Structure formats: structure tokens, C-alpha cells
Structure 1
Amino acid sequence: MMKLNANQLNFSGGPGALPESVLQQLQTAMLCVPEVGLSILGISHRSQWFAQVVHELEDNIRQLMGLPDTTRVLMMQGGATQQFSMLPMNLLRDGQSADYIHSGYWSGKAIHEAEKSGKLNLAWSGKADQFSRLPSDAELQLSKDAAYFHYISNETVEGLQFHRVPGRDDVPRICDMSSDLLSAPGEFNRYAMIYAHAQKNIGPAGVTLVILRDDFMQTLPKDLPGFINYHAQADAHSIYNTPPVFAIYSVLLVTRWLLHDIGGLHNIAKHNELKAACLYQVLDDYADFYRGRAAIADRSNMNVVFNLPNAEIEQAFLQAAQQAGFSGLNGHRSIGGIRASIYNGLEIAAADQLADFMQTFYKRYKISTPQTSGLSTAYA
């Protein structure tokens, strides 16, 4: 089996692994961007070079997603968390209400922030099912008069992912795609707005992509303070204030990798599906031991979330995994368990290696049952 380094065995939920070739380019840029002669950390955001970086990145996003030139592409700060607040501040005016799906931890955060700005209609909640599944279209309670409809395409904590586009086409559809944007093709033209922080599939923390359909952009208010005003941000081409130059340049390199090395979103989707399939196969083959959280139809291709028979065995698994070179497998602090995040930058070989480790761990556990003491060293 091919020897993988620590970066290549990083299954962290975010920031996630970046492609090895991108890391190598960033290593060079830290000392000197070839076409500039300066470190990326010292290049002015007002330079002509950086303006070209922003322009190319905007074009690359449109090309990858199949969007028209009129689509606004912004590189903002504050992560998805700022968008949780900024979005309703711009749209929930004059007593209007918005429809939200509550499908897990992060959509709950979005709802909590939006409620501070206006009225919400809970179109569906998975709380009663402990966020183990997503709704069918028939379960959604949607309003044709909503100011907008909001959902999260992939819940990283619970390992749930929408594999269709929910919502009404006659109501502005807004989606937080922080953890699966650019991981597969999609019907992106059906969205009025998409936002995604970078630190899963598309770059390091510090930059958030906000993609706005032009006709929707024209409906947004212009009288808000500049930092939370989409018009002001768009007019400044993402340089309203000092932007995170390093993070934006990193995202540019990732889009170049997707376009030229991978060959577009159809190809990266095949990679991601293979990674997910090999891990879910282990969950299905050893379902008495590896207990997946998500309903099969709603399983995420980005985050494989599961539990083991008890907390002691989970700790043994994590310790043995760390000794074997894997990192980032701890489940989210809100639910515990195990989570393998398999974002774009993670290679297929890494998922295969984790699947092999999981099978070996299971077989050794069965041999040692019912003895559970010393598990943390037994599987190293």
C-alpha cells in the first residue's frame, strides 16, 4: 500500500485537508510568489496582481459551477456564521417571514441567529428523530409568501446530505454549502444565493464565498452599513476592506486544481463517491459494530459519522487510529462518536487505508472479546 504522509491522512471536519500540489505551491508562495517576487503574506491587497487573482477566482467559480457572467461572486470574511446574521438582516424586513429547515447542528445555529432579525417558519425539524434523517418533499411546510427559503446542504456533525434540491422555485432559495460546495456538480442556477466558508473543500479558514444571482442581487437593500451590505461588497470586488489575501490566493489555487488537474466537478464527484462508498461499505459489512448515524438515503459524501458499541471502544479506536497515522477522527463535541471527513483534498488512497484499518480493528476486537481492557494498545 502506498505510504501516505500526515497531511494525506487528515480526516478533520475542518479545516480539512488541502491537495498536496496546492500545499506545495503555497509553500513556494510563502517565500516568493513567482510572478511578483514577494511573499504572499506581504503582497498588497491593492496591487494589480491581487486584483487579477480576484478576477480569475470569480471566473473559475462561475466556470466550475456553470453560472453566467452576470453572477456575483464575493470573497467575504466572518465565515458562515456572519452569513447566518447578515442574510436575515438584509432580507427580513417589513414583517416578512422566512422558511428554514432544521436538519442538524449548523442549521440550528443559523435559525438561532435569524430569529434575532425577524419571523421564521420552521419548514421541518429533524429533532424528534435526533437528526438522523432529512425530510421528504411532502414533509416540508413551505410558504409561497416567504421572503426566502434557507437550508444547509450538508450537515457535517450528523453526516447528513441533501442529494436533491428542496424548496419552491418561486421563492428565493438560499443554501449554506460550506461543507460540500465544489465537491460535485449541481443545479446551481436554481439558487438565488449560495454561501460557503472555505475551510472544508476549497481552502483555508478566513474567506467565505458568497454567490448571488444578479436578479436576486437587485432586490437587496442598499441602506445597510457597508460591511453587511452585499451591494457594497460586490461593488468593491471583495476588497471593501483589507481581505485575507493568503486565503483567497489559496482558494484560487484549489479552483485551478479542480479545473486543470481534476477536470471539473464531475470528476471530483467520482473521487468523493469512491471515498464515501469504501467507508460506508465497512459500516454496512460490520453493522453490529460500526453503527452509522445517518439514514442510508441521506448519507453524506463528505462526513461519515458513526459510533462503536461503547465509549471505551470508541476511545480505543481513536487512540489506535492516531498511532496508525490518522488524525481528525473525533466526532463533533456535541454528539461524540467518530467522524471521518473526506473532503476534496483527501485522496482515495487515504479512505481505502482507513477502511482497511477499520476492518482490522473490528477483527482484532472480535478475537479479544469479551476482554476490553488494554484495547488502546491492542490495535496499534
Structure 2
Amino acid sequence: MSRVWNFSAGPAALPEEVLRQAAEEMLDWHGAGMGVMEMSHRGKEFISIAEQAEADLRELLAVPADYRVLFMQGGAIAENAIIPLNLLGERDTADYVLTGSWSVKSAKEAARYGKVNLAASAEASGWTSVPVLESWQLSADPAYLFVCTNETIGGVEYAADPDLARIGRAEVPVVADMSSHILSRVIDVSRYGLIFGGAQKNIGPAGLTIVIVREDLLGRASPHCPTAFDYKTVAEAGSMYNTPPTYAIYIAGLVFQWLKRQGGVAAMEARNIAKARLLYDYLDGSDFYENRIDPVCRSRMNVPFFLKNEALNDAFLTGAREAGLLQLKGHKSVGGMRASIYNAMPIEGVAALVDYLKTFAARHG
């Protein structure tokens, strides 16, 4: 069977070039006589892999020197607890901006460890927008402000890095869940106190969590925080306090090298703009499908859409599978369809999807 166009929201498609390299190195990595999955995480071979992966990620995102890059486990969901356990410190309140399913889950989890102030919410819009920054109501002395800059389920994305200086609160660290769009666009890391994301969407296989944290935020962990999740402990141990997800780090490193060969994050952003425009332009011009997200806040990575006649949903998905277009069913909480078009999805895959959308609409319209 030839490879399909995989529109899964995660675990998601990986660059074929990366998969082929990993296959070639499966039994013998660079003459080591063993594969990466068999290596000691403290051996010189794997240490070199991890160090190169960190160096490449720093280069791709222009990570400032006063930030630490941590390779952790537990996914973004675990970070929803790990973050307040690490950052609340002597304060008791954190601010959250709600823009959809994942930020709502994050706030609910944080409320187990401290007070959560809802600085802003898009619930009134049906989770189809991002509240304008000037409307955010921060608490008097929050430990941090949390945002999910791309809502994987709802397809809402922040158009720019939040700049709290615009509302006179530059001292508040911004914590961002970037799981589903990290490395898809240029960001200013210095605007954030902490960035995190699960790898299984735009970086590599499930099992690896990336955390980029400013050094002055280390050392605030609650005494109830598990040692393996204390950012200061993880940073001081070079992400080797316990056995890290070694193979996932290796694949992530291959993806970082692939991104550099593509021209880096700015080049990928240009491609992603073109891919998203191709799909959104067709949906907007169609009277058969619809996207309900505010155009200003539409995600380039996760494109939800609905058939106006939802009785055709099953036929649509069956036909898509037959055409080699997989994982287009929307999340169960919102229904409809969703195409996730991460970095590894070439524009040819998006074009194939648009062709199928046209064909299906012509047949059933």
C-alpha cells in the first residue's frame, strides 16, 4: 500500500525523509553497532544526540541564552499540573485565558493547586475567536498568565505573540501551550516565561514533551511537586534526572535537522500560509462546506469544517478513505471534520484534499 495523506491531529504525520533515515539507522546508529532505542541515556552516543537536538531547536526558535530547554514526559496534559506546581511559588493565583477545549482543561487542572482567575474567555463566541488583549482582566499579582496559542480541537490560533506590555503588565510571565503549532511560525520566545508542547503533532512521536523555560522561573516548585517534574531538578540534570524518552528525542532531532534543510521556521511559515490559504479559500467559496472560526483567528495547523448537510458525513469519510485521505473526522466534542496540516503535510496533500472536497460536493450537491 502506498502512503496515504494523513490529516491526523496527533500523533500526526512525520516527514517521509525523516522516517527513511530512522529506518536506515534502526539497527546501527552511526557505527555504534546498536540502534538508538538500545542505547544508555547516559552514554556518549545518546548524549551527543540529545545535545544536538537541543542546539538545533535553540537555533530554529532563536531561544535566548537565559532560557533552558527541557526534554520531559507526560505530554501537555501533565504539564497542566506540573506548571502550577512549579510556578505558583509563594503566590496563590494564576490567570488563564480561555479559547477552547485545551485551555479550559488547563484551567480546571490548575484549580486543583491554586486559585485560577479567568482573565478572559471566548465562550460567548462559541469558542470561535481569541479575546482581544485589551479586554483581558489580570489579577493583582498573578504567578503567571496561561494561554493556549493554538486550540487543536477548535481550530483557533493567536494571530501574534501576546504582548502584556500593551496593557501595562509586562512583569507577568506568559505561559503558552504551543503543542499544535510550535515550529510552524516565527515566534519571539522572549515574550514568554515558559513554552511547552507535546511532540506528537509538529515535532515527533508521542512520549516527548518540550519545555522552554526562563531561568528566573526555576526554583519555585511546591514541596508537593514530584522531584522528576521539578523544572530546576530537570534543568540541572540536563533532562537526564530519570530516563528520558530517548527514541522520541532522537526522532525530534531528525525533524529539527529536516526543518533546517527546508530553510528554517520562516520558510515553513510561508509554506503553512500557502497551505492554509488554499484550503480556507476553497471552503469560504463553497456553499457545501463551512468553517465557523473568526477569520482573524483561524488556525493554520488545524482546520475544522462542516458539511452543511451533515447526513452526508459518513459518506464523506468513506469516500475520503477510498481516496487515501485519512483522519478527517472532527473531534467528538465538536463534530464535523478537521484537517490537520502540520509542517510534515506538503501542499500536494492539501491540494488532494481540496480536489476531493470539490468532487464530493459536485456529486452530492
Which interval holds the TM-score relative to the shorter structure? over 0.9
Following the alignment from structure 1 to structure 2, what is the Cα–Cα distance between the partners of residues 242 and 114? 26
**Deviation at residue 121 of structure 1 after TM alignment:** 0.6
The answer (yes or no) to whether the contact 2:91–2:143 under 8 Å persists in 1 is: no
Q: Which moved more, 1:337-346 or 1:43-52?
A: 43-52
Quickly say closer, same or farther: Cα 1:148–1:167, change in 2 above 3 A: farther
Correspondence for 2:255: 254
SS at match of 1:24: helix
Residue identity matched to 1:161: E
Alignment of 1:131-280 (within 5 A): 131-166=127-162, 168=164, 169-217=170-218, 220-221=220-221, 223=223, 224-259=225-260, 261-280=261-280
**Deviation at residue 5 of structure 1 after TM alignment:** 4.1
Within the alignment, does 1:306 sit opposite 2:300 as a pair?
no
The answer (yes or no) to whether the contact 2:162–2:191 under 8 Å persists in 1 is: no
Alignment of 1:81-160 (within 5 A): 81-160=77-156
**Deviation at residue 144 of structure 1 after TM alignment:** 5.0
Aligned residue among 6, 16, 19 for 1:10: 6
SS at match of 2:65: coil
Following the alignment from structure 1 to structure 2, what is the Cα–Cα distance between the partners of residues 187 and 86? 23
Residue identity matched to 2:240: I
Quickly say closer, same or farther: Cα 1:167–1:85, change in 2 above 3 A: farther
**Deviation at residue 225 of structure 1 after TM alignment:** 3.2
The answer (yes or no) to whether the contact 1:176–1:195 under 8 Å persists in 2 is: yes
Residue identity matched to 2:183: L
Correspondence for 1:328: 327
TM-score (norm 2): 0.95
Following the alignment from structure 1 to structure 2, what is the Cα–Cα distance between the partners of residues 41 and 95? 42
Correspondence for 2:167: none
Correspondence for 1:340: 339
Q: What per-residue deviation string (whole Å, max 9, x for no partner) do you get for residues 264-318 of structure 1?
A: 10001111111111100111110x2211021111100000101112332122111
**Deviation at residue 30 of structure 1 after TM alignment:** 2.1
Residue identity matched to 2:114: G
**Deviation at residue 321 of structure 1 after TM alignment:** 0.5
SS at match of 1:13: coil
Q: Which moved more, 1:197-206 or 1:353-362?
A: 353-362
Correspondence for 1:46: 42
SS at match of 1:200: coil
Residues matched between the structures, number: 359
Identity in percent: 42
Q: What per-residue deviation string (whole Å, max 9, x for no partner) do you get for residues 49-102 of structure 1?
A: 111111111111111111223320000000001110011112224452111011
**Deviation at residue 167 of structure 1 after TM alignment:** 5.1
Residue identity matched to 2:3: A
Q: Which moved more, 1:84-93 or 1:264-273?
A: 84-93
The answer (yes or no) to whether the contact 2:89–2:222 under 8 Å persists in 1 is: no
Following the alignment from structure 2 to structure 1, what is the Cα–Cα distance between the partners of residues 263 and 91? 46
Q: Which moved more, 1:334-343 or 1:89-98?
A: 89-98
**Deviation at residue 126 of structure 1 after TM alignment:** 1.6
- Unpaired runs of 5+ in structure 2? 165-169
Aligned CA RMSD, in angstroms, stands at 1.5
Following the alignment from structure 2 to structure 1, what is the Cα–Cα distance between the partners of residues 163 and 102? 19
Correspondence for 2:51: 55
Following the alignment from structure 1 to structure 2, what is the Cα–Cα distance between the partners of residues 144 and 5? 57
SS at match of 2:311: helix
Residue identity matched to 1:284: D
Correspondence for 1:375: none
Correspondence for 1:369: none
The runs of 4+ residues in structure 1 deviating greater than 6 Å are none
Following the alignment from structure 1 to structure 2, what is the Cα–Cα distance between the partners of residues 364 and 59? 51
- Unpaired runs of 5+ in structure 1? 367-380
SS at match of 1:30: coil
The answer (yes or no) to whether the contact 1:95–1:119 under 8 Å persists in 2 is: no
Following the alignment from structure 1 to structure 2, what is the Cα–Cα distance between the partners of residues 47 and 20? 28
Correspondence for 1:374: none
Aligned residue among 27, 40, 58 for 1:31: 27
Within the alignment, does 1:70 sit opposite 2:66 as a pair?
yes
Following the alignment from structure 1 to structure 2, what is the Cα–Cα distance between the partners of residues 225 and 128? 37
Residue identity matched to 1:201: N
The answer (yes or no) to whether the contact 2:290–2:306 under 8 Å persists in 1 is: yes
Aligned residue among 15, 19, 22 for 2:15: 19
TM-score (norm 1): 0.91
